[in-house]
Amino acid sequence: MATFEVESGAPLMGEATVHPAKNAVLPIITASLLTDGALHVPDMPELADVRALCELVGECGCDVRREGDGMTFQTRTPTLPSSAHAMRCTRASVLIMGPLLARLGSARVTMPGGCAIGQRPIDLHLKGMAALGAEIVNRQGFVELRGTLRGGVIYLDLPSVGATENIMMAASLADGVTRIENAAKEPEIVDLAQCLSAMGAQIQGAGTGTLVVRGVKRLHGAVYQPIPDRIEAGTLCCAAAVAGGNILLRGARPEHMRALLFKLQEAGTVISEFPGGLRVRGKAQWPMEVRTMSYPGFPTDLQAPMMVVACNTPGTSVFLETIFENRFMHIPELTRMGASIRVEDRVAVIEGGYPLQGAQVGCPDLRSGAALILAGLTAEGVTRVEDAQGHIDRGYERFDQTLSSLGARVRRLP
């Protein structure tokens, strides 16, 4: 539970350091279940989703130790999780499936309850496990899997990030070679593959549509630092494109952010890259067309923040959300702030350039919440984002402090 109060103010100035990526560290935490060795992450972001997943892997027999900025994970004797509660706290809980099945020969996950942005099925995860030889039973709201895994060939109907990660982890200890066709290509997939390789896995093709995993008998511990968060960095780029100014994002990896950076440059924001980060200057000037796609397309996680840029930019912008079926929940809240947005199914048409009005708004999901804080940066009057579910802290480490350090007038109410 948190409430953020935002007032419009001066353009953003200064520099911020990008934290390690939420969507990279979460699968790496579950990968620690694959070995009895110690997996050390030197710098772990402080996020509610990380805490929730650490609690869950702890229920699976993993010894989780916080050591300064880092964490160490060691699973000498893996077990099936007992409580459904820990499995429901984060969507990433589904990622214990592959590691437990590979290490224990059995796994149990809750049927996904879906979440705000969509139904979030796991059929592709299960299709992959079945192709590796698992037997699957739905029982009392749980999905139970068992079997000794052998290599197989899987075609993913959709380049699902989570399914690619689960299958890659399961295949790393399967007997034989596994090929995943139409695999997801996100940087977080490559990062997980690199971490698994550091643990002794044999993986080729990560980042391409065809992933090949040659199973090994066992994996060992490793020290691995995940990549910086391209979505946090992208959200801050959008903040600068909304409020104007000149900010430096230390640690940002432009090569992971091409779609966003091109779109912002087309809209008139000046982006300069340098070893170790990037600089963002000036408000967006021109309307845009954004179509969310799997990587390397425009990331769905930046659709809401980018729509706030469009609200502040004169002209007609068009957004098409192709990944999730219900990812426009920021729109009713933006409309309460005076935004002019028409929605037809998965298409949103924004008439931008009209000043937004500060208002009391809700926080329907993680990225919508961040977007509404960005909307408050230029709205007339005070905006209060009421994050009753604590969404923002799930995916951004001290987001209010990061923005305040750049000169934004954002504060977390006690």
Nearest to 245 by CA among 377, 352, 58: 377
Q: Which of 51, 88, 120, 291 binds ligand EPZ (CB under 6 A)?
A: 120
179 scored as a contact of ligand EPZ (CB under 6 A):
no
Binders of ligand EPZ among residues 294 to 313 (CB under 6 A) are 300-301
Is 21 among the residues that bind ligand EPZ (CB under 6 A)? no
CB of 201 to ligand EPZ, least distance (A): 19
Smaller CB distance to ligand EPZ: residue 112 or 287? 112
Cβ proximity to ligand EPZ: between 299 and 358 the closer is 299
Give the rounded distance of the alpha carbon of 91 from its chain centre.
10
Closest CB to ligand EPZ among residues 78, 299:
299
Give the nearest distance from C-beta 329 to ligand EPZ in angstroms: 12
Return contacts of 203-212, CB within 8 angstroms, 24+ apart: 203/168, 203/172, 206/168, 208/183, 209/159, 209/181, 209/182, 209/183, 209/185, 210/179, 210/180, 210/181, 210/183, 211/164, 211/168, 211/179, 211/180, 211/183, 212/177, 212/178, 212/179, 212/180
Is residue 121 part of the contact set for ligand EPZ (CB under 6 A)? Answer: yes
Q: Which residues are catalytic?
A: 115
Q: How far is the CB of 47 from ligand EPZ (least distance, A)?
A: 10
Interface residues for ligand EPZ in 351-390 (CB under 6 A)? Answer: 366-367
Rule CB under 6 A: say whether 104 interacts with ligand EPZ.
Answer: no
Backbone φ/ψ region at 147: left (φ over 0), alpha (ψ -120 to 50), beta: left
Contact between 222 and 198 (Cβ < 8 Å):
yes
Q: What is the DSSP letter of 201?
A: -
Taking CB under 6 A as the criterion, which residues in 323-342 touch ligand EPZ?
A: 323-324
Site for ligand EPZ (CB under 6 A): which residue of 48, 87, 161, 359?
Answer: 161
Contact in structure between 160 and 183 (CB atoms under 8 Å)? no
Measured distance CA(126)–CA(102) in Å, rounded: 14
Question: Exactly one of 30, 32, 160, 235 binds ligand EPZ (CB under 6 A); which one?
Answer: 160
- With 0-12 / 13-18 / 19 or more C-beta atoms within 10 angstroms meaning exposed / middle / buried, residue 135 is exposed
What is the nearest approach in angstroms of ligand EPZ to the Cβ of residue 123? 5
- List C-alpha distances in Å: 372 to 10, 66, 137, 364, 375: 18, 32, 41, 10, 5
Amino acid at 399: F
Give 120 or 258: the residue with its C-beta nearer to ligand EPZ: 120
Closest CA to 92 of 182, 165, 195, 191: 165
Structure token digits, residue 326: 């219900």
Task: Name every residue whose Cβ is closer than 8 Å to that of residue 305 and which is 6 or more positions away in sequence.
Answer: 234, 235, 238, 239, 367, 370, 371, 374
Among 2, 18, 26, 341, binds ligand EPZ (CB under 6 A): 26
Rule CB under 6 A: is residue 158 a binding residue for ligand EPZ?
Answer: yes
When the beta carbons of 11 and 99 are compared against ligand EPZ, the nearer one is: 99
Q: Please tell me whether residue 395 binds ligand EPZ under the rule CB under 6 A.
A: yes
The residue of the chain with the least Cβ separation from ligand EPZ equals: 162
Give the nearest distance from C-beta 129 to ligand EPZ in angstroms: 11
Please name which of 353, 262, 271 lies closest in space to residue 312, comparing C-alpha atoms. 353
Q: Is 248 in the site for ligand EPZ (CB under 6 A)?
A: no
Which amino acid is present at 115?
A: C
Binding residues among 73-92 for ligand EPZ as defined by CB under 6 A? 91-92
Minimum CB distance to ligand EPZ smaller for 160 or for 378: 160
Of the candidate spans 116-124, 251-259, 332-340, 375-383, the one that interacts with ligand EPZ by CB under 6 A turns out to be: 116-124
Task: Find, among 371, 340, 350, 372, the residue nearest to 359 by Cα.
Answer: 372
Contact 305, 269 (CB under 8 A): no
When binding is defined by CB under 6 A, the residue of 23, 30, 110, 194 that contacts ligand EPZ is 23
Contact between 162 and ligand EPZ (CB under 6 A)? yes
Does 137 bind ligand EPZ (CB under 6 A)? Our answer is no
Which residue of 103, 108, 125, 283 would you call a contact of ligand EPZ, by CB under 6 A? 125
User: Interface with ligand EPZ by CB under 6 A: which residues?
Assistant: 22-23, 26, 91-92, 118, 120-125, 158, 160-163, 184, 300-301, 323-324, 366-367, 395
